[in-house]
Chains A and B, each alone.
Chain A
Amino acid sequence: EDQVTQSPEALRLQEGESSSLNCSYTVSGLRGLFWYRQDPGKGPEFLFTLYSAGEEKEKERLKATLTKKESFLHITAPKPEDSATYLCAARDQAGTALIFGKGTTLSVSS
């Protein structure tokens, strides 16, 4: 069964303290690994899609990487405005919809 697991569930950082969020997946024929940011009461905001192992994408303080079994979202020198829930999702070769993990809730304090 296809599955996406995120860790940790919650992460508290000080402003400027870099860290990484993990997304492990077991999906047959991965056709995209997606990262979203979700603020309370809002819909998920698209961040990145990664398609093949070794691929990396960056946006401001965020960098996403992909291996054959997992993806990492690296946050460099985070700011309080980076506080949100980060969702990881995968799409398999046969499907069109996404399989979501439960998310990591990030809190960054100044």
Chain B
Amino acid sequence: SAVISQKPSRDICQRGTSLTIQCQVDSQVTMMFWYRQQPGQSLTLIATANQGSEATYESGFVIDKFPISRPNLTFSTLTVSNMSPEDSSIYLCSVDDGTNYYNEQFFGPGTRLTVL
């Protein structure tokens, strides 16, 4: 399985600022995803990070708030912009190797964000 790392592991930020989260994979992968896990809740998909093109966002999430980059097949970033306390969550990167129709999906360790 792919080994996924995220930076930072946690951060405390002030309202109105932005934070960029990095996701690095030890092998080339086709699909990369960003999820949010709010306190006491399960995981919600924010967007699919597409290599070489714009990310595909889920309902309720917009590019201005969560801009995503995917410059190559091993790296992606998620920016949380103009933060408010409601953005306090764990942000998780996941990958799908996309080699066949039935793909397993693996997760990074997460970034715990607290907004004051």
Contact = CB atoms under 8 A, between A and B. Distances in A.
Contact of A46 (B106, B110, B112): B106
Say what secondary structure dominates the interface of chain B.
strand
Contacts, number: 53
Contacts of B102: 31-32, 49, 51
Nearest to B43: A100
Given A49-B102, A51-B102, A36 B41 contact: no
A36 B107 contact: yes
Interface stretch (A12-20, A37-45, A60-68, A70-78): A37-45
B95 to A, nearest CB: 11
Contacts of B41: 102
| Chain A interface, >50% SS class | loop
Interface of A: 31-32, 34, 36, 41-46, 49, 51, 87, 89, 91, 96-98, 100-103
Interface of B: 1, 4, 31, 33, 41-45, 48, 92, 96, 98, 101-110, 112
